[in-house]
Amino acid sequence: MDQNDITVTLTEVEHELINDILSHALESIHLVAPYDAGIWDLPIDSPILQRYTLIENLKERFNLLWVDRFETGDSL
């Protein structure tokens, strides 16, 4: 299997949907394991903590891309 990075072009609607999915995934984790509960007590190599961190990082990256969509490149 090719394990190189991939590039995906999304429409505006698809981008919004991915943002929603990532937000809801994190909300679901918080519902099951709130911040003051045990998720942060898991070992750093825990698959649950690694997945959580991956989703959190993806959400941040997609949010930054969302912000970039509104930048026109023109200085006011």
Tell me which residue range forms the domain holding 27.
Answer: 12-66
Query: Does the residue 6 lie in any domain?
Result: no
pTM of the model: 0.76
Cα–Cα distance between 10 and 8 in angstroms, integer?
Answer: 6
Domain count, the chain: 1
Query: Does the residue 75 lie in any domain?
Result: no
Query: Does the residue 5 lie in any domain?
Result: no
Q: Is the pLDDT of residue 72 over 70?
A: no
Instruction: Return mean pLDDT, the chain.
Output: 86
- Over the stretch 41-62, which tens digit does the pLDDT of each residue have? 788 898 888 998 999 999 999 9
Query: Does the residue 56 lie in any domain?
Result: yes
Query: Does the residue 1 lie in any domain?
Result: no
Contact 55, 27 (CB under 8 A): no
Q: Is the pLDDT of residue 13 over 90?
A: yes
Confidence at residue 75, expressed as pLDDT on a 0 to 100 scale: 53
